[in-house]
Structure 1
Amino acid sequence: MRVRGAVASRRVTAPEPNAEQWRAWSGSGGDFWAAHADLFEAGVAGYRDAFRSATAVRPGERVLDVGCGAGTTTLDAAAAADPDGHAHGVDMSAAMLAIARDRAAASGLPATFAVADAQTEELGDGAFDVVVSRNGVMFFGDPEAAFANLHRALAPGGRIVLQVWQPLAEQEWLWAVHGALRLPDPPPDGASPLSLGDPDRCRDLLTGAGFTGVRLDDVRAPMWFGADVEQAAAFHLGRVADALAARAATDRQDAEDALRGVLAEHAGPGGVAFRSAAWLVRATRP
């Protein structure tokens, strides 16, 4: 069903700069996150209210959600934009968008979804009043081009609101788990969850794309990975299954035992949780 005011985006016909990300999110990577969508949402629930408040979506506004995943933030935006507004979510994972569409249909909210790369998609000049993204803008192959594209998609006076991870030292959920599994940590640049952790780089990218009034606020919440050690272990081992597959059986077992030990150290009455920190980023298209 076409939602009132919804924008039909179109792919730019150019060499695909994010081919590796397309392969990951349209294959087993996307399938994994779709299968664990509810667990992920529970894991980042501590950030939801702050992000929703920062987006400050108003009735009648047109919202673009970049890297929308299973649609939680899109539906939050759609609820705030209703009536007369809408939210449009884009993501590379068809599996996750299938969940998002089901959720939207059940909710009756004005939300649409499309499989797309926000770096290269023609989103329409000035087609949106707000661009939002919760942990979805760190994987661009060419972030300069991507943020320029998002700038074009915003109407003058429109705003962009992002949540991105701070540097590795603040992400206990990453370095503790990867240390136990003897896996390399994600790099601080490139298509990485930590690529916008450096606040100066984040500001420079947005300013270079034409945004003004760039502001970064420190937000922190525990990352929750399950009700008990076994649920958390199943999640993390599934997340890095490809990286562990080439190891000898004894090496894999040693890594799994080490992981369970770390998870046990972080288990409590409420489940297994680690420290984390994000930047809440806001800027405006003049």
Structure 2
Amino acid sequence: MFDYDAEMRFYRPRFREACGVRDGDRVLDVGCGGGQTTRDAAADAAHVLGVDVSERMLEHARRQPLPNVDYLLADAATYAFEPSFDLCISRFGVMFFDDLVGAFTNLRRALRPGGRLVVLVWQPRAENEWARVIPEVIGGTYRDESAFALGSEDVTRDILTSAGFVDPTFTAVHELLYYGPDAETAYANVLRLREPQALLAELDAAAAERAQTALREMLAAHQTGSGVHFESSAWIVTGVT
């Protein structure tokens, strides 16, 4: 399994600071995955509910139980949450909803009056080295743009205001992504990702072999003394009810 928390390690302190969890807060963590952001929030919150659509990821999260944390297998876009949360957070987990306005409306309803939204989302593909160079090296035509659905500041502001959030703010964040300690580990990690898998599946055997060789060479070129890194750009987006 790809170690997503390791990949995002450089975003962790910045996002945790932006969330600003307060003593006594009830927190909803959307797309919580393996639970790292849930546990981070739980260090200060009264209670945190981590929600994800992947039972596999939630099983991983539950291996590190905390008394003030619960996990829920559900689609946060439509689940009928009690309007009891002070803070809704998400680390790269809110871009994939089919109906973004509807989903954020549902999340806003889960918040108490004056509740806060703090989410980390990708800026457009063109601003993210990892999202440009890996597909370019492999070739093929498949492009899944859902990860960048909230990359446009204007589009995302319209979505949030339509959903009932007030005064959305955007803070640009630029960090490295960590793909592994060496090029061979990074290669294995990249091949676990959906887009590279889909691109390679388009190619015939000879083209796929050439693409894999080129991918290894590119990853080796990105290797540093502290691992294989790619530049990335994201937004920390906030709003209030």
Name the TM-score, length of structure 2 as normaliser: 0.95
Of 10, 13, 16, the match for 1:52: 16
Structure 1 residues 56 and 71 mapped into 2: Cα distance closer, same or farther (>3 Å)? same
SS at match of 1:230: helix
2-side partners of 1:151 and 1:53: how far apart? Answer: 21
What 5-or-longer segments of structure 2 have no aligned partner?
Answer: none
1-side partners of 2:70 and 2:141: how far apart? Answer: 37
8 Å contact from structure 1 (residues 62, 128) kept in 2? yes
Equivalence for 1:64 = 28
Q: Deviations over 1:216-253 (max 9, x none)?
A: 00011001101111000111112133542353221211
1-side partners of 2:144 and 2:153: how far apart? Answer: 15
1:59-208 mapped onto 2 (5 Å cutoff): 59-81=23-45, 85-103=46-64, 105=65, 108-124=66-82, 126-184=83-141, 186=143, 188=145, 192-208=146-162
2-side partners of 1:183 and 1:146: how far apart? Answer: 32
Equivalence for 1:251 = 207
Equivalence for 2:225 = 269
Q: CA RMSD in A?
A: 1.3
1-side partners of 2:32 and 2:19: how far apart? Answer: 14
1:271-286 mapped onto 2 (5 Å cutoff): 271-285=227-241
8 Å contact from structure 1 (residues 67, 89) kept in 2? yes
Equivalence for 1:9 = none
- Match status 1:231 vs 2:185: yes
The offset of 1:169, in angstroms, is 1.3
Report percent identity of matched pairs: 43
2-side partners of 1:276 and 1:185: how far apart? Answer: 21
More strand by share: 2
Q: Deviating runs (4+, > 6 A) in structure 1?
A: none
8 Å contact from structure 2 (residues 142, 199) kept in 1? no
1-side partners of 2:40 and 2:187: how far apart? Answer: 30
Q: Deviations over 1:72-102 (max 9, x none)?
A: 0011111111xxx100011111000001111
8 Å contact from structure 1 (residues 187, 195) kept in 2? no
Name the TM-score, length of structure 1 as normaliser: 0.81
Equivalence for 1:221 = 175
8 Å contact from structure 1 (residues 214, 281) kept in 2? yes
8 Å contact from structure 1 (residues 186, 193) kept in 2? no
What 5-or-longer segments of structure 1 have no aligned partner?
Answer: 1-34
2-side partners of 1:69 and 1:273: how far apart? Answer: 22
Q: 273-282 or 231-240: which moved more?
A: 231-240
The offset of 1:185, in angstroms, is 6.5
Which residue type is aligned with residue 132 of structure 1?
I
How many positions carry a matched residue from both structures? 239
SS at match of 1:277: strand
